[in-house]
């Protein structure tokens, strides 16, 4: 079969492997088909924008073994506003789900009530919904008494230094360089992300620090939350799946240390 050029709307995208996406495309010319977009989950990928749900794009497709392979994609309608609304709504739904799972019937939780009310207010307007969610997840952990140890090594108590800091949910905090050498995987935080986390734990709000720093902290805070919630809430897997499906940042693999 020769390569084709089609106009399509992305009905669905699901992650495959480390960085690929499998797309369900509704093409004008050929109807519904599945296509593989290699590397499209990397933010730097040229295919990233055009392979999101609801986007209308022109696709160049080459025949592959199982799927068509996306060789080029140009968004015609990126639907940035719609996409942002979807992500904000998804973040709000996830926050409600999370709280639902933590609550028992008939128990008063005023602080948690105020916290949820305030994150929902913010998600109506937020330009950076996953960052807003990160603040919420962190505040929730602080409220539940799971304050991560960030000032010194959570394993040996020594000073933590360097441009990069390792965070390990199992020990409940950051590690000094020598303790970090003994673990095979941990989340990696830049100095900036680590400092931002300490500021948040002191009860301050931190303005959006840019994609890369925010991404690192969102990852670490979520790992921390997930570690504790998984021990408390039986059906938590469903919750993580919801977060993944709604927010698109599907996997949270621990980042191997250098
Ligand atoms: Zn240590």
Q: Which residue has the higher pLDDT, 79 or 71?
A: 71
Which pTM does this prediction carry? 0.78
In this predicted structure, the answer to whether residue 46 has a pLDDT above a threshold of 80 is yes
How far apart CA 180 and CA 172 sit, in angstroms, is 13
Mean pLDDT of 35-45: 90
Query: What does R_g of the chain's alpha carbons equal in angstroms?
Result: 20
Q: What pLDDT does residue 258 have?
A: 39
pLDDT one-digit tens code per residue, 138-170: 999 999 999 999 999 999 999 998 888 999 999
Domain parsing of the chain, residue ranges: 4-78, 83-247
* 236 CA → ligand 1 middle, Å: 31
**Length of the chain in terms of residues written:** 258
For a pLDDT cut of 70, what percent of the chain falls above it?
94
Q: List the shell of residues around ion ligand 1, using CB closer than 5 Å.
A: 153, 155-156, 158, 176, 179
Reported as a pLDDT band with limits 50, 70 and 90, residue 243 is: confident
Query: Which CATH fold would you assign to the domain 83-247?
Result: de novo design (two linked rop proteins) (1.20.1440)
In the chain, the largest separation of any two C-alpha atoms, in whole Å, equals 64
Domain at 4-78, CATH from 2.40.50.140, 3.10.400.10, 2.60.120.10, 3.40.50.150: 2.40.50.140
> Whole-number mean pLDDT of the chain?
89
For residue 159, report the distance from its CA to the centre of ligand 1, in Å. Answer: 8
User: Which pLDDT score, from 0 to 100, does residue 111 have?
Assistant: 95
The yes-or-no verdict on residue 250 having pLDDT over 50 is: no
Mean pLDDT over residues 221-226, rounded?
Answer: 92
The CA 149 to ligand 1 mean position distance, Å, reads 12
Quote the pLDDT of residue 82: 86
Counts for the chain of helices (H) and strands (E), in that order: 7, 8
Joined tokens for residue 182 = 């003994």
State the alpha helices, DSSP H only, in 20-159.
Answer: 80-102, 110-123, 129-143
Say how many Å lie between the CA of residue 22 and the centre of ligand 1: 42
What pLDDT, on a 0 to 100 scale, did the predictor assign at position 248?
61
For residues 248 and 133, the model is more confident at: 133
Ligand 1 centroid, distance to 233 Cα (angstroms) = 30
pLDDT, position 76: 95
Q: Say what the alpha-carbon torsion angle 192, 194, 195, 198 is, to the nearest 10 degrees.
A: 160
Structure tokens at 48: 């990233």
Cβ neighbours of residue 101 under 8 Å, at least 6 residues apart?
229, 233, 235, 236, 239
Q: What separation in Å is there between the alpha carbon of 196 and the centre of ligand 1?
A: 21
């Amino acid at each position: 079969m020769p390569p084709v050029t089609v106009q399509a709307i992305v009905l669905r995208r699901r992650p495959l492997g480390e960085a690929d996406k499998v797309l369900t495309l509704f093409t004008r010319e050929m109807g519904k088909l599945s296509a593989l977009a290699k590397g499209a989950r990397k933010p730097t990928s040229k295919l990233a924008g055009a392979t999101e749900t609801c986007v209308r794009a022109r696709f160049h497709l080459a025949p592959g073994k199982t799927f068509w392979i996306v060789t080029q994609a140009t968004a015609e309608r990126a639907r940035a506003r719609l996409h942002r609304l979807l992500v904000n709504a998804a973040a709000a739904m996830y926050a409600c789900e999370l709280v639902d799972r933590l609550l028992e019937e008939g128990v008063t939780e005023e602080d948690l009530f105020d916290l949820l009310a305030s994150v929902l207010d913010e998600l109506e307007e937020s330009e950076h919904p996953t960052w807003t969610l990160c603040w919420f997840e962190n505040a929730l952990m602080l409220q539940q008494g799971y304050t991560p140890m960030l000032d010194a090594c959570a394993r040996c108590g020594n000073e933590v230094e360097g441009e990069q800091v390792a965070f390990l949910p199992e020990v409940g905090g950051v590690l000094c360089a020598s303790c970090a050498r003994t673990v095979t995987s941990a989340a990696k935080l830049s100095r900036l992300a680590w400092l931002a986390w300490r500021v948040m734990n002191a009860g301050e709000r931190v303005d959006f620090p840019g994609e890369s720093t925010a991404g690192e902290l969102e990852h670490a805070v979520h790992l921390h939350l997930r570690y504790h919630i998984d021990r408390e809430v039986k059906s938590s897997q469903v919750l993580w799946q919801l977060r993944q499906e709604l927010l698109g940042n599907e996997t949270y693999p621990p980042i191997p240390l250098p």
